[in-house]
A and B are shown apart, each in its own frame.
Chain A
Amino acid sequence: MMIIEVEHLMKDFMVAKRETGLLGAMKSLVKREHIKKEAVKDISFSIEEGEMVGYIGPNGAGKSTTIKMLTGILVPSSGKVKVNGIVPYENRQKNAKNIGVVFGQRTQLWWDLPTIESFELLKEIYQVSNKRYKENMDTFTEILGLDEFLNTPVRQLSLGQRMRADIAASLLHDPPILFLDEPTIGLDVVAKEKMRTFIKEINNERKITVILTTHDMEDIEKLCERMILIDHGQKVYDGEMAVVKEKFGKNRILIVDLEESSHRLKVTGGEVFKEESSRFWIRFNRDAVSASELIAQITKTHNIKDLTVEEPEIESIISRIYQEGYQNLPETVKV
């Protein structure tokens, strides 16, 4: 069953045009001119129950706008949205019970209450039974370590703690669907990792459908099998992560440590793009030359102490997609 269906979704904002100069300022006092800003342009996708989908794009691409339409706090300019069979903006409160939402940039907890009070409030708001509330709290406390700050007011929490509290809060009422808008933004490496483990676990164990927006490529790489890539409000790719990697990820990086330092290194078929004393980074195209050929070449003139081959970061793949245009994209796998 398709739990989320989006068809030809559009959202325009009317933005007041900024007039410059004194004359402009006078003019805008009388009549403001507005220009139309197309934040989301004709996006369609559908998501199956239990999927975890990365909704990716650079800043301003229209990710949050899409999520807001899925939650019902924004009405589409045109197109259709259905979340668990409900049109969100027509039935905002009913939709609210089916979804959990986390906005990374802002908390939805009550700012000056101790964290636990927010949870208790949410329990009433969503009419969670005592038994279920206790079960969920126990689970979340165990995985997310909530107990270290349950009695601290939200405004005193560190960003990582706040994010953990926020995601636990969004799941208290057992929503079948979870929207995460930049859930790892601003977190340090350890906190990010904790967050990812948790997201993965609830998706696996509770079969919660997750849409995750981010511009952190590591999030996607670690969490999502499917990604929807958007840019300037339009969908440019929708399909398996693996396919993108296959098509665009032909570059590999060979890192070699040589016995002797300060040697210049030249290899045909590869490009040395970084060096540090006796360590060299060589980029090569997997289809044109194999790693073993390169290594053979190097061993002719140098002694290799150690070596590794790295896959390309998804980040560089995405930036290549942007650079080379979308026509080179593999066929959309899922529509």
Chain B
Amino acid sequence: MFRFRLYWTFTKKAFLRSAVYRFDVWSRLGSNLIFLLMWGSIWTALYAGREEAGGVSFEAMLTYIVVSQFLTGVNGAGTPLWDIQEKVRTGDISLELMRPFDVPLRYLFADFGSVAFYILTALLPLYTVLFIFMDLTLPDSWQTWVLFIISAFIGFLIRYCIEMSFGLLSFFLVETGGIVDIFYFAMSLLSGSVIPLWFFPGWLEKMALYLPFQGIYYIPNAIFIGEISGSAILLSLGIQLFWVGVCYLLLRLVWNRASHKVVVQGG
């Protein structure tokens, strides 16, 4: 039985909690904006006045980066990797085994709350302004908007499952530096968050296409700018759904092993 009301309460409380940390919201928004400026100027320099590169117009490329930075803000508002590791280390997560709820789901719903707060109070206002004042490509039909939102949401779930699984690995590893590096490498490069997959060398593109990370940034971004269009959108959503399924199973597996370890070895 899924107790929606219970998990929804976590969403509400996390929303309120974010309101307490307003400074946090502003500083994150600040760094988000700085990265946006940085990637924007890098891509402007790379295009060097050309109208298009690799079959993609400069305007579309700039849009890709802006949307990507928006989604980075969304994904970054959830419980970050280091925080999960910290909760493992302090035993907070082990103690939650004592409660009548499912722990990975409870964190997901809490993340919905913090993300919603961040979107409403910071990301939407900023990016609305950006879209008004910059020359960017907007989807021409409302269907594309809807498909983009669905795709971005699935991407969020994929990222959540992967980040949580990586965080829970702290139950098994004493040193987690390597894990953190792999995670951030995959999140920034293989996901296509700063360089679209079509600019990758062939072998790397192939590799990225066989991994779940493209589902987090590349697919929703490409849908937004029309790089993926028509029936290809449905195929991409299918790929995302496949990966969210796989990543969810991975998370369940890691969580089962972790809770098993807690109850046998005492965390």
Contact = CB atoms under 8 A, between A and B. Distances in A.
B205 to A, nearest CB: 37
B13 A14 contact: no
B91 interface: yes
The 7 A-B residue pairs whose C-beta atoms are closest, nearest first, are A124-B9, A93-B100, A96-B100, A75-B263, A73-B97, A124-B6, A73-B98
B20 A92 contact: no
Interface residues of B, number: 22
A141 interface: no
B99 interface: yes
A65 B266 contact: yes
Contacts of A94: 100
B20 A153 contact: yes
B151 interface: no
Interface in B242-267: 262-266
Consensus secondary structure, chain B interface: helix
Interface stretch (A110-118, A285-293, A311-319): A110-118
Interface in B1-47: 5-6, 9-10, 13, 16-17, 20-21
Nearest to B102: A93
A13 B13 contact: no
A106 B97 contact: no
B13 A113 contact: yes
Interface of B: 5-6, 9-10, 13, 16-17, 20-21, 91, 94-95, 97-101, 262-266
A101 B263 contact: no
A97 B6 CA distance: 15
Nearest to A64: B266
Given A13-B265, A110-B13, A97 B95 contact: no
Nearest to B9: A124
A120 to B, nearest CB: 8
Nearest to B7: A124
B13 A101 contact: no
Contacts of B16: 113, 117
Interface residues on chain A, size class: 20 to 34
B237 to A, nearest CB: 34
Given A73-B94, A93-B100, A113-B17, 13 more contacts: A13-B266, A65-B266, A68-B266, A73-B98, A89-B263, A97-B100, A101-B98, A110-B17, A112-B20, A112-B21, A117-B16, A124-B9, A125-B6
Nearest to B17: A113
A79 B225 CA distance: 63
A126 B100 contact: yes
B17 A112 contact: yes
B13 A73 contact: no
B5 A124 contact: yes
A71 interface: yes
15 contacts: A72-B263, A73-B94, A73-B262, A74-B264, A75-B264, A92-B97, A92-B98, A93-B100, A112-B17, A117-B16, A117-B17, A124-B5, A125-B9, A125-B99, A125-B101
Contacts of B265: 13-14
A29 B99 CA distance: 37
A99 to B, nearest CB: 8
A139 B101 CA distance: 27
A117 B166 CA distance: 29
A108 B91 CA distance: 11
Contact of B98 (A72, A117, A153): A72
B3 to A, nearest CB: 8
Contacts of B264: 74-75
Contacts of A72: 97-98, 263
Contacts of A125: 6, 9, 99-101
Interface in A72-100: 72-75, 89, 92-94, 96-97
B6 A117 contact: no
B23 to A, nearest CB: 13
A265 interface: no
B101 A106 contact: no
Nearest to B101: A125
B95 A106 contact: yes
A291 B13 CA distance: 64
